[in-house]
Chain A
């Protein structure tokens, strides 16, 4: 039983990261029907920037976080203008390649700036393991879980209660109609892309003390986060976080009871299965664009 809880909980903490990143996918997809295909690379940039600020320049985490999030926001604005907006009207799926291209550029620039060797970042809340009964968790893992839940609550509040949130949802439904209603659809699209980038920065900031900071950090994370966004449904942020936690727990259990090697195989097969059976996702109420 202890083993079960231990591996499941360790997995849930990782799953919180996936969920944090996956929310970024849904945010842009909902407003533009476009998503940042290389979101994982953005997480990596957030992580590398965090490393520079905290480990190299000695900034405290509390100061570093806003710097990271704002930098990624600005970067997101630039990237949207350069690699997304020009291709929105083409009607085709060219933006898949353009956002991917930006991701590739990020990896190489990161390697040139920070080198390719992985480097450690000290934990923000100390590295003494916390004992919760028979279970051991790192304080950083608890921090991540807390952040994810807080973010989820904030997003829910934003979408349902605030005017801006409702504007977001309107644009998600139909950008043209929303602009007829006086909502600046273009601005909202741009903002949602930049906010998603900012959240990716947050995810990177959170995750690097657990892993090492390295340019290849984001590739797998981005892929798994996408799998979760698919499983939950790109239009359902609440379900995404939940799916992330569940997926993480599942990964932990598979590693623990079967074999680590099977973990990714089963996870991605699950995603393909969901795509086959219910392409709009398990939590979504929207009908997906069927082939």
Chain B
């Protein structure tokens, strides 16, 4: 046994050393330009994660069909982080150091991005555009505050803005003063709860009740009853599809019709699939909705998604966001080259951009603002008979368009259709 061991050991050792070397940037000019992605491809958050990858792949297919970036093709290298920050961190290292990616699409879990941000800024130094994670501290991170290069960018909803938007809608647009909070203790719910409380404070209000629930809760009866007893006129919430399904089911069981406004975690068809009719009447903030009139570009992408994947979109904002992110990268790479630091710098200098989420007629990002969207870009939607309908205000009254010709007003107390 001793004799074989030495030889095989040397062989193994040798190959272990040389294989990763082939991936180093020095060799990279002979292959495709690699963009990395680590997000939840399995698990309860997979409906978002898979759609990010699909959006990215559709964008890359489009760019490659037009000749790629100066003749070189793009390639998406994806990993399943199972919505788990531990894996995300390891996979980011692996993607950058072993796979040689020059840019990344952001993950599905805010906690993952919070974990990875310092490492990206200090060690890995590749630009990341996030379509899905909204925790403010990701982009407003240590490096940004210290004035160093900030590699994290966002084209999706962002925390501070969303918190403002939800509270402002409830208070200023819908006229509620007694606000109750019902948040998930999971990662995203923690930041969300912080944002909601902050905004209420800024408006000089206190929540009448501040309830939470965790992932193993399937019956929110105690919390909902407490909110009712506290006199909540409107409940604000941050949770994902799974947890919110239980909430709205409990609400339905109790016959509770208190207006319920949630963050964009439930702004995708996956929610209606899981919750069914119990989701009727729930409001959610979002960046886009695919129900209702669409621009021709969006329609084209919806078509392409259907033909390529033969399945309905579960998280449209993810698809569009990822699509825009890839095109942003492509635009900057064509102009400034593929060195990650140059891409990063270039992103801060994109004066206009026709994106699917939004048509930007102002710089997408600036040195101090790494969030592409502002509160003005957000919309409030209502789940109505399986569709996510945008709420518009007609002489101050909230209305939705249930079909092309009909607009229905929402009742001021419990927001049912009049």
Residues of A within 8 A of B (CB): 3, 6-7, 10, 14, 111, 115-120, 127, 129, 136, 138, 210-212, 214, 220, 252, 255-256, 260-261, 264
A127 and B245 CA atoms in complex are apart in Å by 15
Closest A residue to B223 by CB, please name it: A260
Closest chain A CB from B61 CB (angstroms): 25
Contact across chains for B216 and A119 when beta carbons are under 8 A apart: no
A144 and B141 CA atoms in complex are apart in Å by 50
Contact across chains for A129 and B253 when beta carbons are under 8 A apart: yes
Contact across chains for B254 and A129 when beta carbons are under 8 A apart: yes
Closest A residue to B221 by CB, please name it: A10
- Select one of B217, B221, B242 contacting A7, CB under 8 A: B221
B200 interfacial by beta-carbon distance below 8 Å: no
- 20 residue pairs of the A-B complex, CB under 8 angstroms, read A3-B229, A6-B221, A7-B221, A10-B222, A111-B42, A116-B43, A116-B44, A117-B43, A117-B44, A117-B47, A117-B274, A118-B242, A120-B274, A120-B275, A136-B254, A212-B242, A256-B221, A261-B185, A261-B212, A264-B216
- Select one of A117, A127, A210, A260 contacting B222, CB under 8 A: A260
A213 and B213 CA atoms in complex are apart in Å by 19
Residues of B within 8 A of A (CB): 42-44, 46-47, 185, 211-214, 216-219, 221-223, 225-226, 229, 242, 245-246, 252-255, 270, 273-276
Closest B residue to A259 by CB, please name it: B212
- Select one of B42, B46, B253 contacting A138, CB under 8 A: B253
Contact across chains for B216 and A256 when beta carbons are under 8 A apart: no
Neighbouring B residues of A136 by C-beta, 8 Å = 253-255
User: Main SS of the interface on chain B?
Assistant: helix
- Select one of A6, A210, A261 contacting B225, CB under 8 A: A6
Contact across chains for A118 and B274 when beta carbons are under 8 A apart: yes
A37 and B128 CA atoms in complex are apart in Å by 44
A7 and B219 CA atoms in complex are apart in Å by 10
A6 and B222 CA atoms in complex are apart in Å by 8
Contact across chains for A116 and B255 when beta carbons are under 8 A apart: no
Q: A116-B42, A116-B43, A136-B254 are in contact. Are A255 and B242 (CB under 8 A)?
A: no
A6 and B221 CA atoms in complex are apart in Å by 8
A264 and B185 CA atoms in complex are apart in Å by 14
Neighbouring A residues of B229 by C-beta, 8 Å = 3
